[in-house]
Structure 1
Amino acid sequence: MHVNEKNRTPKKEDLNEGPSKSELKRQMTERQKLAEVLAALSSDALKTIPMDEAIKVAIGETNKIKSFEAIRRHKQYLGKLMRFLDETELDTIQRRLDAIQGVSKAETAKLHFLESYRDRLIADDATFTKMIEQYPDMDIQNMRTLIRNARREKELNKPPKAYREIFRVLKEMGL
């Protein structure tokens, strides 16, 4: 660093040498949070993410740790390992993670749609009539029986066997 000889202050061009200490801490925290999200993934999903094998092993070890303080230290260690990744690697990991989470969100949305459709079928005969018009090839008699049984199960507070069966049939139909 160059120092001005008159008043012993650093020159302005030397003061902007890189990210501030606060910025470095923010980056470290972001990387640590990314590591926590990765640790919450299933082992199959984690295998699809392109990253260093040492980091994958360390993330896999997170689930084996039981002590709260040890988990905290391990998360800091994961953040330290993630610090050595460059921005392109982090972007690749983040994109893959977003894709994995996007797929699970889409699946969840589809399941919610099927559940609400099943509830409408049981509650209203008009929904079933519309379904017959849209899917004339389906087994109408079987579906009508399942709907009737689901209504009866609900009235008698019995286990929802037909209720679940309707969901399975709707899922198989690819609704």
Structure 2
Amino acid sequence: MIHEQPDEFEGEEPVSKSQRKRESLALQKLGKTLTELKPQQLTKIPLADDLREAITELERIHHREGRRRHLQFIGKLMRSADHDAIQQALDGLQKEGLQQVQQQHLVEQWRDRLLSEEKEALAEFVDAYQPDDIQQLNQLIRQARKEKAQEKPPAAARKLFRFVRDTLT
């Protein structure tokens, strides 16, 4: 005699306890990532007021166990938050940070090329970016080379860096 049980979960399978725990830990980890952001970055993330308040409150908690419990609380608040939008905003911040790092590397490369190569790098830089004051650029390059030869602090190299950065942006 075979008993037929009604299909309570037609089309969807129940979520296991392990899966719920993994999801909860992932949300807690996302909340911990939010607590590591600077206040200026945190304003760019779409958060509910209670979640934003809990994240900023973590800074005041110094006791290890208290911090752990508060991170669990943040994870609990994350369950009701729009974690997809939060993750997208975090990805945007990370992409923005990577672009800034790439920009910084480009500026450093141009500065190094301008100091090491003679006329070729200068001509390429002027053709590519048309700086406002080529005379000042030449002067900074000469001063930076002179400082390096005399083993002085690199004040002109820093000024050259700022000049190249301002020209690129």
Report the TM range for the smaller structure's normalisation.
0.7 to 0.9
> CA shift at 1:13, angstroms?
4.3
* Structure 1: runs of 5 or more not aligned: none
Distance 1:136 1:113 in 2: 16
Q: Percent identity?
A: 35
Matched, 1:156 2:150: yes
Decide whether aligned partners of structure 1 residues 12 and 72 sit closer, same or farther in structure 2, where only a CA change above 3 A counts: farther
TM-score by length of 1: 0.82
Code of the aligned partner of 1:121: L
48-57 or 62-71: bigger deviation: 62-71
Secondary structure at 2:113 match in 1: helix
The CA deviation at 1:136 is: 4.9
1:170 to 158, 164, 167: 164
CA distance in 2 between partners of 1:83 and 1:135 (Å): 49
Where do 5+ consecutive residues of structure 2 fail to align? none
Number of aligned residue pairs: 166
Q: What letter is aligned with 1:127?
A: A
- Using the size of structure 2 for normalisation, the TM-score is 0.84
In the alignment, residue 91 of structure 1 is paired with which amino acid?
A: D
Structure 2 CA distance for partners of 1:103 and 1:148, relative to 1, 3 Å: same
Cα distance in 2, alignment partners of residues 168 and 134 from structure 1:
17
The correspondence for 2:123, drawn from 122, 129, 132, is 129
Match of 1:37 among 27, 33, 36: 33
1:16-165 correspondence to structure 2 within 5 Å: 18-85=14-81, 89-125=82-118, 126-136=120-130, 138-165=132-159
In 2: Cα distance, 1:174 partner to 1:141 partner: 17
Q: 1:123 to 1:137 in 2, by over 3 A?
A: closer
- Mark the CA change 1:80 to 1:154 in structure 2 (over 3 Å): closer, same or farther: same
